């Protein structure tokens, strides 16, 4: 994949991820979180499964692939979004975004511990700088609460899903994996909703538009592009761009919700750009490349 295409796709998917926070916040006025996310993922998964039904490998093959798709859905769709939205009972959406977007650091840590991947010191520094930028973006207003731990569980789930997609993705068509993992994650979220919520959905022009955005852009487009990037690139480098998600979230909240942007957003954005550069900079030819094969 050439660099221009890679950068374009990664900016698209992180922008869509960032938009999901203010759009999802509006959507919570019309449905409880687990139920809303369940509708989103099941609808998106079914639609995408229909779209790819004419492909040669239009569905998982054998018990092993069905199980792999279900596990990815448990971590990627149910784990990440379930924890992110449930944590907002105790912390703000901004704080939840900060913690969820520690995923790049966790990908490098888990990749090192579990897969034997080797990363340069500069990349570790880049992840740390990017995380500082995320914290600056939201104004250093974080505290330790119950929701903090729940959101961190979502970040661990995100990192785990990233490594699993890189490990198993070569045996799947990426759009097929995206479809069936969303269905699996959506079913889990429906079960959580039945246990912990009183499910409802208020139909209106606004709520339908929000749901369509979450289904088409925030699910079908986002997951298809994200899984494609993970399969065809280094998961640590790709995940480093997730530091852009809170920045895009703040900007889109300003546009959609009228939330004020403070000076520290600019400082955070600068740190984020530096962090992404450090993680992705190739350096000189004689420096050893990442041992990404260990994660495949």
Average model confidence (pLDDT) for the chain? 81
Least confident of 13-17, 21-25, 77-81, 278-282: 278-282
Q: How many whole angstroms separate alpha carbon 93 and alpha carbon 296? A: 33
- pLDDT category at 21 given cuts 50, 70, 90 is confident
Kindly state the average pLDDT of the residues 235-254.
75
Q: Where are the alpha helices (DSSP H) in the chain?
A: 3-27, 33-51, 62-73, 80-87, 93-100, 103-110, 121-137, 146-168, 174-196, 205-215, 222-232, 235-240, 244-257, 263-280
Q: Domain coordinates of the chain in residue numbers?
A: 32-295
User: What is residue 295's DSSP assignment?
Assistant: G
Q: How many whole angstroms separate alpha carbon 139 and alpha carbon 264? A: 6
Kindly state the average pLDDT of the residues 86-98.
73
Instruction: Report residue 294 CA to chain centroid gap.
Output: 22
Kindly state the average pLDDT of the residues 172-200.
92
Condensed to tens digits (0 to 9), the pLDDT of residues 35-66 reads: 999 999 999 999 999 998 988 778 888 899 99
Whether pTM > 0.85 for this model: the answer is no
115 φ, ψ (degrees, to nearest 5): -115, -10
- Nearest alpha-carbon partner for 279 in 120, 162, 137: 120
| Of residues 172 and 98, more confidently modeled | 172
- pLDDT category at 78 given cuts 50, 70, 90 is very high
Q: How many whole angstroms separate alpha carbon 268 and alpha carbon 270? A: 5
- Say what the pLDDT of residue 224 is: 86
What six digits make up the tokens of 80?
């990440």
């Amino acid at each position: 994949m050439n660099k221009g295409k890679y950068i374009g796709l990664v900016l698209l998917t992180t922008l869509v991820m960032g938009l999901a926070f203010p759009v999802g916040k509006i959507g919570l006025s019309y449905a409880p979180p687990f139920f809303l996310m369940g509708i989103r993922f099941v609808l998106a998964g079914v639609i995408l499964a229909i779209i790819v039904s004419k492909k040669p490998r239009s569905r998982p093959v054998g018990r092993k692939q069905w199980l792999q798709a279900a596990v990815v859905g448990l971590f990627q769709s149910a784990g990440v979004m379930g924890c992110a939205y449930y944590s907002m009972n105790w912390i703000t959406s901004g704080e939840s975004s900060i913690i969820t977007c520690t995923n790049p650091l966790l990908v490098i840590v888990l990749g090192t511990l579990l897969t034997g991947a080797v990363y340069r010191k500069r990349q570790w520094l880049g992840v740390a700088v990017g995380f500082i930028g995320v914290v600056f973006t939201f104004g250093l207003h974080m505290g330790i609460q119950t929701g903090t731990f729940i959101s961190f569980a979502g970040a661990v789930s995100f990192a785990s899903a990233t490594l699993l997609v890189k490990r198993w993705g070569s045996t799947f068509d990426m759009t097929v994996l995206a479809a069936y993992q969303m269905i699996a994650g959506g079913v889990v979220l429906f079960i959580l909703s039945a246990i912990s919520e009183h499910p409802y959905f208020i139909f209106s022009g606004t709520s339908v538009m929000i749901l369509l955005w979450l289904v088409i852009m925030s699910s079908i487009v986002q997951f298809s592009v994200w899984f494609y990037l993970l399969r065809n690139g280094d998961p640590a480098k790709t995940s480093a761009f997730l530091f852009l998600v809170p920045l895009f979230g703040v900007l889109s909240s300003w546009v959609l919700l009228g939330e004020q942007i403070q000076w520290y957003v600019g400082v955070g954005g600068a740190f984020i750009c530096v962090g992404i550069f450090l993680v992705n900079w190739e350096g000189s030819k004689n420096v050893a490349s990442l041992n990404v094969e260990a994660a495949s």
